[in-house]
C-alpha cells in the first residue's frame, strides 16, 4: 500500500514539473488550446487584431507614399504655372517679340503633360482608376491634347480600418480641367491655343492671364487637399501604432510566462520530489524480516 502511495505522489510531482518546464522552455502560458480554452479564444482575437493592424499599416504606408508623389507633382505643376505667368508678363512688354515666347509655352505644355502622366508603382496618379495607358496625350492629328483613358474621375480607395476607406487620388480633372473632344476648356488646350497665338505674333490677353491665375490658384488649393490627405493618413498611422502597443500589452498578459514565478515553482517541486524520494527510501525497504 505504501508503495502505491509513494509512486502516485512521485508521478504527480514529476508531471507538474513537466508542465512548468514546458512553460519555461517555450516562454508561453498557452501551448495548446486545452491549456486554457478561454485564454485561447482571447489570444486568437488578439492575434487577429495584430494581423489587421499590420495590414492597415501597409495600406496607410502605401497611401502616404502615393499622396507624397502627388504632392511633389502638384508642386512641380505649380512652379510651372508661376513661371508661365512671369513669362507672359514679360511677353506683354512692347520691347519683346511674342514669337520668342511660343517655344517657352511649348516647353511648359510638355512639362505639364509629363507631370500629368506621373506614375507611382504602376498607377497613374492623376489617371483615376484606369491604368491601362497614360491619361493625357496628343490626339491622332497632334494638334490638341485629349484624355486617353476613361474613368479619369474614378476614385482610388484604400481601406485603413475596419470601418473606414479613404480616397487617396486627386482626379486629373480637378487639376487640369475637363479635356473634351473637340478640345475643351482645360489648361493644356488653352496653352496650345496661347502658343499658337504667340507664334502668330499676338501678345497675351487679359483673358489669358485670368486663365493662368485661375489655374495657379486651383493647383494651390489641390495642394491643400493633398496636404490634408497626408495628415489624415499620418494620424491614422499614429492611431494604429498606439493600438498595436495596446494589443501587444494585452497579448503579453495572456501569453507571457512569469519566468520568476515559474522558476520558483520548479525549485519548490524539485525539493518536494527530493523529500519524497528520501523518506520513501528510508521507509519502504524495512519489514519484520530484517529483525528476525
Partner 1 sequence: MALTRLFEISSKSLATYQRALSISSNNIANAANPNYSRQRAQLTTTEPDHSTNVELGTGVDITDVQRVRNTILDSQIRKYNGYKEDADYRTSVMGNIESLYSEPTDAGLSNLMKKFFNSWNELANDPSSISYRNQVVNAARQMTDKISSIYSGMDVVRSDLKADTSEAVKSINRILTNLADVNQQIYNASTTGKTVNTLMDSRDQLLKELSKYANLNVHINDDNTATVSMGGVNVIDRANAYELSVNTVNSGGRNKLQVLVHGDTSLRLNSGKLNAMLDIYNNKIEDYKSAIDTIANSIMDNVNSVHTTMQTIETPPQTNVKFFTSYSAGKLEINTDILSDPKKIAVSSDGSDGNSDGAIQIANLADENLIDGESFSGKYSDLLTDIANEKSTNTKQGETFDLVLQQLDSQQSQESGVNVDEEMVNVLKYQRSYDASAKLIKIADDILRTLIEMV
**Residue numbers of the site for partner 1 (CB under 8 A)?**
1, 4-5, 8, 30, 32-38, 40-41, 43-45, 47-48, 51-52, 54-56, 58-59, 62-63, 121-123, 127-132, 150-151, 154-159, 162, 165, 287-289, 292
For residue 245, the surrounding DSSP H or E stretch is helix 206-255
Name the CA radius of gyration of the chain, rounded: 37
Nearer to partner 1, 12 or 107 (CB): 12
CB of residue 40 vs partner 1: minimum separation in angstroms? 6
Nearer to partner 1, 45 or 267 (CB): 45
Nearer to partner 1, 26 or 90 (CB): 26
Residue indicated by cell numbers 488646350: 189
Nearer to partner 1, 35 or 268 (CB): 35
Nearer to partner 1, 171 or 204 (CB): 171
Nearer to partner 1, 169 or 189 (CB): 169
CB of residue 280 vs partner 1: minimum separation in angstroms? 15
CB of residue 64 vs partner 1: minimum separation in angstroms? 11
Smallest CA-to-CA distance from 80 within 205, 176, 2 is with: 176
Quick check: 138 and 103 in contact, CB under 8 A?
no
Nearer to partner 1, 30 or 109 (CB): 30
Q: For residue 84, give the 3-state DSSP assignment.
A: helix
CB of residue 61 vs partner 1: minimum separation in angstroms? 9
| HSE value, Cβ hemisphere, 13 Å, CA-based, for 99 | 2
CB of residue 30 vs partner 1: minimum separation in angstroms? 6
CB of residue 22 vs partner 1: minimum separation in angstroms? 14
Is omega for the bond preceding 182 within 30 degrees of 0, making it cis?
Answer: yes
CA 173 to chain centre: 25
CB of residue 284 vs partner 1: minimum separation in angstroms? 12
Q: Which residues have C-beta within 8 Å of that of residue 190, sequence separation ≥ 6? A: 208, 211
CB of residue 181 vs partner 1: minimum separation in angstroms? 19
Nearest 5°: the CA angle 233, 227, 106 is 130
Q: Which residues have C-beta within 8 Å of that of residue 198, sequence separation ≥ 6? A: 91, 98, 99, 101, 102, 105, 204
- The rounded distance, in Å, linking the Cα atoms of 47 and 245 is 13
Nearer to partner 1, 122 or 182 (CB): 122
Listing DSSP states for 178-213 in one string gives ---TTT-SSHHHHHHHHHHHHHTTPPPPHHHHHHHH
Quick check: 192 and 145 in contact, CB under 8 A?
yes
Amino acid at each position: 500500500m505504501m508503495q502505491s502511495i509513494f509512486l502516485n505522489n512521485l508521478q504527480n510531482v514529476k508531471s507538474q514539473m513537466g508542465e512548468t518546464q514546458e512553460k519555461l522552455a517555450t516562454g508561453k502560458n498557452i501551448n495548446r488550446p486545452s491549456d486554457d480554452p478561454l485564454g485561447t479564444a482571447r489570444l486568437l482575437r488578439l492575434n487577429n487584431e495584430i494581423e489587421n493592424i499590420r495590414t492597415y499599416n501597409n495600406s496607410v504606408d502605401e497611401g502616404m507614399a502615393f499622396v507624397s508623389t502627388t504632392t511633389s507633382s502638384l508642386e512641380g505643376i505649380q512652379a510651372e504655372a508661376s513661371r508661365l505667368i512671369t513669362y507672359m508678363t514679360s511677353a506683354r512688354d512692347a520691347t519683346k517679340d511674342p514669337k520668342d515666347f511660343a517655344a517657352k509655352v511649348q516647353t511648359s505644355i510638355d512639362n505639364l503633360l509629363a507631370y500629368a502622366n506621373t506614375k507611382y508603382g504602376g498607377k497613374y496618379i492623376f489617371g483615376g482608376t484606369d491604368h491601362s495607358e497614360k491619361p493625357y496625350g496628343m490626339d491622332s492629328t497632334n494638334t490638341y491634347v485629349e484624355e486617353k483613358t476613361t474613368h479619369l474621375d474614378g476614385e482610388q480607395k484604400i481601406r485603413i480600418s475596419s470601418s473606414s476607406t479613404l480616397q487617396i487620388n486627386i482626379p486629373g480633372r480637378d487639376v487640369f480641367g475637363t479635356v473634351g473632344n473637340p478640345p475643351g476648356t482645360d489648361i493644356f488646350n488653352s496653352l496650345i491655343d496661347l502658343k499658337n497665338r504667340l507664334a502668330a505674333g499676338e501678345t497675351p490677353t487679359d483673358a489669358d492671364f485670368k486663365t493662368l491665375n485661375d489655374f495657379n490658384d486651383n493647383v494651390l488649393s489641390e495642394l491643400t487637399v493633398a496636404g490634408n490627405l497626408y495628415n489624415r493618413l499620418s494620424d491614422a498611422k499614429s492611431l494604429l501604432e498606439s493600438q498595436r502597443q495596446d494589443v501587444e500589452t494585452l497579448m503579453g498578459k495572456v501569453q507571457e510566462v512569469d519566468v520568476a514565478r515559474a522558476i520558483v515553482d520548479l525549485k519548490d517541486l524539485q525539493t518536494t520530489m527530493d523529500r519524497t524520494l528520501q523518506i520513501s527510501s528510508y521507509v519502504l525497504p524495512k519489514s519484520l524480516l530484517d529483525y528476525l
